[in-house]
Amino acid sequence: MAVRDRWVGWDDRTRARNLQRVVNNSRFLLLPWVGVKNLASAVLARGLSQLAVDWPRRYHVEPWLVETLVDARRHHGGCYRAANFVVLGSTSGRGRMDRHGRRAGEAPKTVLVYPVVRHAQQRLRES
């Protein structure tokens, strides 16, 4: 994702070496009839703190950054913002399976990240 790579300051070689330290939050759903105020951001916060403990145990890699994509046509991503995720910008909208750029702009997503460790951006760039 170009917007994430620019934010980190990655070149291709450094990205290949450190991408394993980026965890993608690909699914997050709270059913609409659950009416607990601030539940989404609270669940995200607890999940993020648990991730820092569980991920290294399971995968033997310390996560430094969590990323997620939000379809801005359907959702505004307020729970991520409330959980202190940083909005980086938008994807090109082509999807990861479109290696030839034939679908550019079809489904752009908002990219948000959450640094799990201090100085995550710098650590990802330098390691």
The 10s digit of each residue's pLDDT in 42-77 is 999 999 999 999 999 999 999 999 999 999 888 888
The long-range contacts involving 10-15, CB below 8 angstroms and separated by at least 24 positions, are 10/124, 10/125, 14/124, 14/125, 14/127
Task: Answer whether residue 105 shows pLDDT above 70.
Answer: no
Query: Do residues 109 and 80 touch, judged by C-beta distance below 8 A?
Result: no
Task: Answer whether residue 87 shows pLDDT above 90.
Answer: yes
Rounded to an integer, the average pLDDT of 96-111 is 68
DSSP string, 54-68: HHHHHHS----EEEE
Torsion, Cα of 119, 121, 125, 126 (10° steps): 0
Query: Which CATH number is 85's domain given?
Result: 3.40.630
Task: State the pLDDT confidence band at 102, using cuts at 50, 70 and 90.
Answer: low
pLDDT: which is higher, 100 or 115: 115
User: Please, what sign has the CA dihedral across residues 78, 33, 51, 95?
Assistant: negative
Query: Do residues 23 and 52 touch, judged by C-beta distance below 8 A?
Result: no
Task: Answer whether residue 112 shows pLDDT above 80.
Answer: yes
Residue numbers of the domain that contains 53: 2-126
pLDDT at position 104 is: 55
pLDDT at position 74 is: 85
pLDDT in tens, 6-51: 999 999 999 999 999 999 998 888 888 888 888 998 999 999 999 9
Q: How many distinct structural domains can be found in the chain? A: 1
Q: Among the residues of the chain, which ranges form H helices?
A: 2-8, 12-18, 39-59, 78-82, 120-126
